[in-house]
Structure 1
Amino acid sequence: MADDDDDVPTLSAETFAALQEFYAEQQKRQEILTKLEADNKLNENILLEENWQLSQFWYNEATVHSLVKVVDKVVSDGGRVALISCPTLFVPVKRQIGDRATVSLLEYDRRFEIHAPDFIFYDYNTPDRLPSEMHNSYDLVIADPPFLSEECITKTSQTIKLLSKDKIVICTGAVMEEHVKNLLGLKKCDFEPRHRNNLANEFVCYANFDLDEALR
């Protein structure tokens, strides 16, 4: 009887390595998701590491707490919240209002796909490439454009206009103030967002409602 072992297909070293990487990534995502589901409190230890190549700088705990308080106060039952390029807000906001409102995360970093189906891949370079059912459907949009450039704030503003039907908050550098005012008509707030790692640039919060009153 002939030996059929030679007919068994084998994976190349390159394909095998890619497969191992895929399964390792899947396992990592599942571990993170398990932690998120098991912990009912805001726990900074579960946050993914910042990717500086994507210009990621996470808020400190006090800033997260303040922004969650604003969301909780201004979003009514059955409302909808969109978080654009501020992924570390998603978990605490979802925990706070997820039982009474919809929370969507628009983000370029696919590590945050662990939050699917609430995760929507978002690239500010294609600001209009979003499902039509999302248009003008969000009661509150919070955005933190990743780059301090006119191009980035302009394209992110296009997305905000596309999504928003009411309240808007932008956290960005003070150098973007004129662009924020001209593009969206937002006003500077007294509240100042802070980051876990101190940044050289001054960061400011802008809104089209009295955000500071919501924090009192």
Structure 2
Amino acid sequence: MDAAKKVNKFIMKNPENADFNQYWYSPKTIEILVNQVLKHGKNCAFLSTPSIFYSINDAQFLKQCYVFEFDKKFEKNNPNFVFFDFHKPEDIPAQFHNFFDFIVIDPPFITRDVWEKYANAAKIIGKKDENNKFVANVLASSIDENDKMLDELLGLKKRVARPLIPNLVYQYSLYSTYEDESLNQVNEEIGF
């Protein structure tokens, strides 16, 4: 079956919630992002990206992954849920500091002040080397106008691939701190 036509169970069970600025990626985009996580991550943090976390079907892999989310409905039956208020990245439990080698980020807002808080959270939880240099891989989505800011905050580079978010008025791009050939291919759902 064509990936774009697959029914995503997460999307079917969880309607978008405008009160939390929750807008889900299309099933094809979710598949692209899940593949990136599985390919590049070992222990992963999902910051405000429950649609990606809950679309991974590998239970063994998920044992090393945590979803950081404000919406507590995603806590149910999930020992790997971490309540996350992006206004307070310093409240992230110490057990997750310098822990994750891969971080997926999709903030509910596109403004600099919000992105600064998400960047701080990523720097708290992301792995560092022996010189305390941030070395975790990061995959994120935001608008093109945030290109320079995202590079400044986390070293994120805009990629060719764009996510489809059907009910969002903005067109986002994907950004990453690492290279991957599939991120430099046009998403056929969008055509550019």
Larger radius of gyration: 1
Q: Distance in 1 between matches of 2:123 and 2:49?
A: 17
The within-5 A match list for 1:40-189 is: 42-44=8-10, 46-75=12-41, 79-93=42-56, 95-96=57-58, 98-100=59-61, 102-165=64-127, 166-189=136-159
Q: How many residues align?
A: 170
TM-score, reference length from structure 2: 0.81
Task: Give yes or no for the alignment of 1:200 onto 2:166.
Answer: no
Partners of 1:104 and 1:120 within 8 A in 2: yes
Q: In structure 1, how many angstroms separate the alpha carbons of the residues matched to 2:171 and 2:34?
A: 21
Please give the TM-score of this superposition, normalised by the length of structure 1.
0.73
Q: Secondary structure at the match of 2:141?
A: strand
Q: Which moved more, 1:101-110 or 1:55-64?
A: 101-110
CA positional deviation for 1:66: 0.5
Extract unaligned runs of 5+ from structure 2: 1-6, 128-135, 186-192
Q: Distance in 2 between matches of 1:214 and 1:206?
A: 9
Report the CA distance between 1:180 and its aligned residue: 0.5
Q: Could you list the runs of 5+ residues in structure 1 that have no partner in the other structure?
A: 1-40
Higher helix share: 1
Seen in structure 2, the aligned counterparts of structure 1 residues 200 and 214 have a Cα distance that, compared at 3 Å, is closer
Q: Do the aligned partners of 2:143 and 2:170 also contact (CA within 8 Å) in 1? A: yes
Superposition misfits of 4+ residues, deviation over 2 angstroms: 41-47, 211-216
For 2:184 and 2:142, locate their aligned partners in 1 and report how far apart those are by CA, in whole Å: 19
Cα RMSD of the aligned pairs, angstroms, is 1.9
Q: Helix, strand or coil: the match of 2:124?
A: helix
Q: Percent same amino acid at aligned positions?
A: 26
Corresponding residue for residue 188 of structure 2: none
Supply the distance in 1 between the matched residues of 2:117 and 2:44 (Cα, whole angstroms): 19
**Alpha-carbon distance change, 154 to 118 in structure 1, aligned in 2, over 3 angstroms:** same
Contact 2:96 2:125 in 1 (8 A): yes
Instruction: Determine if contact 1:69/1:215 at 8 Å carries over to the other structure.
Output: no
Q: Aligned in 2, Cα 1:173/1:113: closer, same or farther, shift over 3 Å? A: same
Q: 1:87 to 1:50 in 2, by over 3 A?
A: same
